[in-house]
């Protein structure tokens, strides 16, 4: 379910390292919790983000939720397709539904995030809790 070469956060964002850059989006669990996504607010290219800074919001029929930057760094690209077709996040959260690409301030920081197995364990814990 959750790609083994991705990294994950407790807030249900994923990160994929691509050369010098990191691509991020929200996880399948997150899109299921949100339900049908109807609007995605994207950060600005060139913005310098702190780790855990809010980069924008995702609006679904159920709720409006903040999306956080999993890493500190500079935004190098955003997924403009989401503006007109927010449903891509529901259809392909780990692929075409990517949100932004950034150049991490510290290339090693990503390794402090969760691996797939760890994230799946985190989800099991959440399930018990509810």
Residues that bind other proteins (CB under 8 A): 33, 36, 38-39, 54, 59, 61-65, 86-87, 130
Nearer to other proteins, 20 or 130 (CB): 130
Task: Give residues with Cβ within 8 angstroms of 46, minimum separation 6.
Answer: 74, 75
Nearer to other proteins, 41 or 76 (CB): 41
Work out how close the CB of 126 gets to other proteins at its nearest, in angstroms, rounded to a whole number.
9
Work out how close the CB of 85 gets to other proteins at its nearest, in angstroms, rounded to a whole number.
9
Nearer to other proteins, 23 or 49 (CB): 49
Any idea which residue has 């692929």 for tokens?
95
Burial of 17 from C-beta contacts in 10 A (0-12 / 13-18 / 19+): middle
Work out how close the CB of 4 gets to other proteins at its nearest, in angstroms, rounded to a whole number.
26
Burial of 56 from C-beta contacts in 10 A (0-12 / 13-18 / 19+): middle
Nearer to other proteins, 62 or 112 (CB): 62
* CA pair distance 18, 33, nearest whole angstrom: 27
Work out how close the CB of 36 gets to other proteins at its nearest, in angstroms, rounded to a whole number.
4
């Amino acid at each position: 379910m959750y790609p083994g070469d991705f990294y994950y956060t407790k807030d249900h964002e994923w990160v994929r390292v691509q050369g010098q850059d990191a691509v991020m989006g929200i996880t399948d669990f997150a899109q299921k919790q949100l339900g049908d996504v109807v609007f995605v607010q994207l950060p600005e290219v060139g913005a310098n983000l702190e780790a855990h800074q809010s980069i924008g919001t995702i609006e679904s029929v159920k709720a409006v939720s903040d999306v956080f930057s999993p890493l500190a760094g500079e935004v190098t690209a955003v997924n403009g397709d989401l503006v007109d077709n927010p449903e891509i996040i529901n259809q392909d959260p780990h692929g075409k539904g990517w949100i932004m690409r950034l150049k991490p301030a510290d290339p090693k920081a990503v390794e402090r995030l969760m691996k797939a197995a760890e994230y799946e364990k985190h989800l099991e814990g959440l399930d018990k809790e509810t």
